[in-house]
């Protein structure tokens, strides 16, 4: 993201940026300093329901553009998180569900423990990176089972359960995805 105009004499304190994408396309982002800070916090904390997943690098860019260049966007790894368990129910076309099964099996062999009787333990960081490009979520995909025709159940333990729900919905818009937290 590149700042192309910032005029101190601008009475509305508006900022203008170009954000470039790999195919030479770009969008113009306009906003006030307060809007830049708000957007930075969205990327720092995540607003998954609205399609904004945690991206500490983007958060830092927005803070820097707003003049908050001393803002620390690194993850606090000293904090322990509480484990929440949930089942995610995926219903849809067999071809899509087969693709998800293949993806999970491949990830289990690459990053998890596929032959472990206690579960696959695929790191959620890897799955979220693959689905939405954000590795800043903690947890594990424990197991997957085919519950009925055209239906899969993913058993997950995570720091928070909703981001994975929104990631699945964003990555697979043709599937019906619901979840149930387990006690």
Q: Are residues 116 and 38 in the same domain?
A: no
- Tell me which residue range forms the domain holding 113: 84-182
pLDDT of amino acid 50 = 83
| Structure-token pair, residue 169 | 């919905």
Distance, in Å, from the CA atom of 85 to the CA atom of 143, rounded to the nearest integer, reads 12
pLDDT of amino acid 42 = 87
Tell me the pTM: 0.69
Q: Are residues 40 and 8 in the same domain?
A: yes
pLDDT of amino acid 85 = 93
Contact 62, 36 (CB under 8 A): yes
Is the CA virtual torsion 170, 175, 180, 182 positive or negative? negative
Q: Pick out the chain residues at pLDDT < 50.
A: 1-11
Q: Are residues 40 and 97 in the same domain?
A: no
Q: For residue 147, give the CATH number of its domain.
A: 3.30.70
Q: Establish if 71 belongs to a structural domain.
A: no
Exposure class string for 116-151: b at 16+ Cβ within 10 A, else e: eeebbbbbbbbbbeebbebbbbbbbbbbbeeeeeee
Q: Are residues 101 and 53 in the same domain?
A: no
Single out the residue of 170, 171, 176 nearest to residue 151, CA to CA: 176
Query: Three-state secondary structure along 76-120?
Result: CCCCCCCCEEEEEEEECCHHHHHHHHHHHHHHHHHHCCCCCCCCC
Distance, in Å, from the CA atom of 115 to the CA atom of 122, rounded to the nearest integer, reads 12
pLDDT of amino acid 21 = 57
CA distances from 44 to 64, 128, 132 (A): 13, 16, 15
Q: Are residues 112 and 165 in the same domain?
A: yes
């Amino acid at each position: 993201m590149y700042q192309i105009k910032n005029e101190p004499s601008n009475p509305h304190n508006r900022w203008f940026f170009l954000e470039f994408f790999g195919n030479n396309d770009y969008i113009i982002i306009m906003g006030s300093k307060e809007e830049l800070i708000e957007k930075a916090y969205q990327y720092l904390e995540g607003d998954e329901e609205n399609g904004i997943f945690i991206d500490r690098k983007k958060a830092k860019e927005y803070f820097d553009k707003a003049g908050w260049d001393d803002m620390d966007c690194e993850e606090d790894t000293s904090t322990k998180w509480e484990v929440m368990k949930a089942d995610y129910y995926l219903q849809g076309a067999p071809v899509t569900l087969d693709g998800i099964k293949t993806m999970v099996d491949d990830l289990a062999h690459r990053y998890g423990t596929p032959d472990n009787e206690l579960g696959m333990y695929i790191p959620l960081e890897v799955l979220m990176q693959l689905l939405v490009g954000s590795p800043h979520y903690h947890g594990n995909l424990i197991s997957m089972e085919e519950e009925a025709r055209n239906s899969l159940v993913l058993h997950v333990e995570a720091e928070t359960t909703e981001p994975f729900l929104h990631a699945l919905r964003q990555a697979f818009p043709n599937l019906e995805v619901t979840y149930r937290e387990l006690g």
